[in-house]
Amino acid sequence: MAGVPFDQREGVIWYDGKIVDWADANVHVLTHGLHYGSCVFEGQRAYGGEIFKLDEHTRRLHASAEVMGFEIPYSVEVINDACRDLIKRMNLVDAYFRPVAWRGSEMMAVSAQRNTIHMAIAAWEWPSYFKPEEVMKGIRLDMAKYRRPDPKTAPYKSKAAGLYMICTLSKHEAEGRGYADALMLDYRGQVAEATGANVFFVKEGKLHTPTPDCFLDGITRRTVIELAQRRGIEVVERAIMPEELASFEECFLTGTAVEVTPVSEIGEFNFQVGDISRALVTDYQAEVRAHANAMRAAS
């Protein structure tokens, strides 16, 4: 299915509690979520036929909707069951899942209190976010011109569609300059994250990562912190200034899509793909596969 536009793929999608053909999972052009960004979503990966940390992702989806001022009309348990059913119907083993919830079309203005809340779940095969041959060599990042906003100006704890507009712009600009992605600073000028992933640095055997006080504290981010601590690696969450980048030895990104991806370059700064980055790439892959094996054994 690689290269096939997403609206032309085959299969089924869970839509408002029903299974519909892929081509029939449509919304009206006057949907509030399209015009005003009142939409939240999740990104989940399945390994060996089991979705990694499914319940945690679904609970975050509910929490995101609450931050955005609406309630998803399906419980965590219903959504989890729908995801498990979908992976069987689509005959998927290693896949990506996209649950999404949005305000409908009853009102078309900034106010939309009476709009129906809709939800859909789609799933498809999806390989590595970056080219496999590039991952262990380390990807190259540009420096983004846009910054993550002040928490007083945006609902950063919600995985809301509208918050990704500047991420798309930054990634497009980086790719146009020959980079794989971009590193974003925050409103204070501190290092924040990449366009869709959290960032870690290695210095003298310790992991350093920005405090997630104006951007999403990723589920993969927290998993990698746990994996590092199991190895006895100290993890320091703190404010990181861009001029510190020259002092770090290693760098990697974490996220459901990117998994654990080493970075070799951020603008003028260079990093090695060292022992800690390689170990955590391996540990993360082992963790998701072990989870899949445990879930299959339990069932």
pLDDT for the residue 299: 76
pLDDT digits (tens, 9 = 90+) for 74-101: 999 999 999 999 999 999 999 999 999 9
Q: What is the value of pTM for the model shown?
A: 0.95
If one counts every other C-beta atom within 10 angstroms of the C-beta of residue 150, the result is 12
Q: Where are any strands of DSSP class E within 55-197?
A: 95-103, 117-124, 139-143, 181-185, 191-194
Which residue in the list 53, 157, 159, 171 is annotated as catalytic?
Answer: 159
Query: Chain-wide mean pLDDT for the chain?
Result: 96
8 Å CB contact between 209 and 190:
no
The string of pLDDT tens digits covering residues 133-186 is 677 899 999 999 999 999 999 999 999 999 999 999 999 999 999 999 999 999
Residue 175: enclosing H or E segment and its boundaries? helix 165-176
Q: What are phi and psi of 121, to 5 degrees?
A: -135, 125
Give the tens place of pLDDT for each residue, 6-24: 999 999 999 999 999 999 9
Smallest Cα–Cα separation from 183: which of 252, 100, 102? 252
Contact partners, residue 1, CB within 8 Å, separation at least 6: 9, 10, 124, 125
Distance between CA atoms of 109 and 36, rounded to whole angstroms? 8
Task: Encode pLDDT of 199-241 as tens digits.
Answer: 999 999 999 999 999 999 999 999 999 999 999 999 999 999 9
Which residues, listed in sequence order, are joined to residue 207 by a DSSP beta bridge?
202, 235
Backbone angles phi, psi at 137, to 5 degrees: -85, -15
pLDDT of res. 131 = 66
Return the pLDDT at 63. 98
How far from chain centre, in Å, is Cα 254? 9
On the question of pLDDT at 64 being above 80, the answer is yes
Q: Give the type of residue at 113.
A: Q
User: What pLDDT is stored for residue 135 in this prediction?
Assistant: 77
Q: Write the pLDDT tens digit of every residue in 250-285.
A: 999 999 999 999 999 999 999 999 999 999 999 999
- What are the residue ranges of helices labelled H in 10-51? 32-36
Smallest CA-to-CA distance from 45 within 133, 121, 124 is with 124
159 as an active site residue: the answer is yes
Report residue 189 as tokens.
């000028």
Residue 21 CB-density burial (10 A; 0-12 exposed, 13-18 middle, 19+ buried): exposed
Q: Given pLDDT bands bounded at 50, 70 and 90, which one contains residue 1?
A: low
Asked whether the predicted pLDDT for residue 2 surpasses 80, the reply is no
Check residue 222 and give its pLDDT. Answer: 98
pLDDT, position 136: 84
Torsion of CA 102, 103, 108, 110, to 10 degrees: -90
pLDDT tens column, 233-254: 999 999 999 999 999 999 999 9
pLDDT exceeds cutoff 70 at 132: no
pLDDT for residue 38 is more than 80? yes
Q: Which helix (H) or strand (E) holds 215?
A: none
Domains, the chain, with CATH or none: 7-124 (3.30.470.10), 132-289 (3.20.10.10)
